Amino acid sequence: MKSNRITSVDIFRGMTIAFMILVNTPGTWSHIYWPLDHAKWNGITPTDWIFPFFLFIVGTSIVLAYHKKKTDAKVYKKIITRSFKIILIGLLLAGFNYHFPFFKNISHLRFPGVLQRIGVVFFVTALLFAKIKNWKFYLIILPVILLGYWYAMTQININGEKPKLTKTNNLASVIDRAVFGKNHMWKHYEETGYVQGDYDPEGLFSTLPAIATSILGIFLGLILVNTRISPYTKTIMFLAIGLILFLLGLFWSHYFPLNKRLWTSSYVLYTGGLAFFFYGIIYFIADILNYKKWSSIFIYLGSNAILIFTLSVFIAKSFYLLKMPGTKHTIHGWIYHNLYVVPLGSSNELSSFLYALSVVVFYIFVAWWFYRKKIFVKV
């Protein structure tokens, strides 16, 4: 029930969704402030924190939802059904267009994607937690995943040569090309259109360490629901664990680079540490000091996270596809040019950012309306 929600979880989730929308809908991809763009390959920017933060809070939400539930067929059915729905929505968004038969040719449909990864990570993590709630199990499986992924990515030869961890020369990309084929992998957008890539940032093998990110969220959830630990002690634990994980990730990055697109093990620890740390601050302010006035907009977004994100993707894609009547512009291009470029005199980082910020504000109002009407959509 809604009364059992932990405010800081909704705030954290809502902030993550707000930043997801902000970085996914610039006025133009040619002009983006560097913190709002992903690292080109190795390295990290604040934008690279966002997706792992969401998967992290997915793990926490799984604990809150299932820690008191007896494991039975009904629970498993619910997990499987929800996972399938999230993956299906991702595939429908990837394939939808406005020309009959309203879906792109399956031979060019991208199979991986953000929602697809969320669905798979939720499926595996929720099934694990439904069956095993002992924190000691996750303390064992977490390093097994991270060390196993590191070994596979750095020690298994590719075509007889040691992997170089470039866009094409890494095990994750080799597996994705073999399983999906290049036609079903990520294409990045440029002003001239979509360009085929040689890797997929939400690919199959790199989803394994993404599951580890969600497992870190399980640890946070287990601390949250432990009534024997005082709120102040929980805060100290969140901050301390966050700092330790961050430093471990930073150290490991010298040997296994921070890389969001490969979701490297160092990246899991680095971003997991940041997630623990930022959550600890939010938890202290919202749930201990009970100071929540500043957070309302994020609570609105966090209470309908998947719905708001899905709407944002669908509408953004529609604006890129549909032409504004009587012009040569798409709806997106017309709005950006007339409302942001013309008033500022040029297309630059500021105009692009203001467009993205306006989109976020729009979805805050949409989320507020759902919240006020007590409409909470569970996928």
Question: What's the CA gap between 11 and 14, in Å, rounded?
Answer: 5
Residue pair 122/58 in contact (Cβ under 8 Å)? The answer is: yes
SS3 323: strand
Higher pLDDT, 197 or 81: 81
Token pair listed for 341? 């470029």
Residue pair 260/48 in contact (Cβ under 8 Å)? The answer is: yes
DSSP H/E element including 195: strand 193-196
Give the rounded percent of residues in the chain with a pLDDT score beyond 70.
96
> Which of 146, 173, 144 shows the shortest CA–CA distance to 249?
146
322: CB partners within 8 A, 6+ apart: 98, 330, 331
> What count of residues does the chain have?
379
Question: What's the CA gap between 144 and 177, in Å, rounded?
Answer: 25
Residue pair 210/265 in contact (Cβ under 8 Å)? The answer is: no
Q: Does the global pTM surpass 0.95?
A: no
Give the Cα-Cα-Cα angle 199, 33, 348 (nearest 5 degrees).
110
Distances (CA, A) of 259 to 45, 49, 276, 356: 10, 11, 19, 25
Phi and psi torsions of 82, nearest 5°: -65, -40
Token pair listed for 33? 């402030």
Task: Please report which confidence band the pLDDT of residue 110 belongs to, taking 50, 70 and 90 as the band edges.
Answer: confident
Residue pair 271/216 in contact (Cβ under 8 Å)? The answer is: no
Least confident of 38-47, 156-165, 280-289: 156-165
Question: What's the CA gap between 221 and 223, in Å, rounded?
Answer: 5
232-251: b (≥16 Cβ within 10 Å) or e: eebbebbbebbeebbebbee
Quick: pLDDT tens for 182-200.
888 877 654 444 556 678 9
Greatest mean pLDDT among 55-59, 330-334, 346-350:
55-59
Distances (CA, A) of 47 to 53, 302, 309: 10, 18, 16
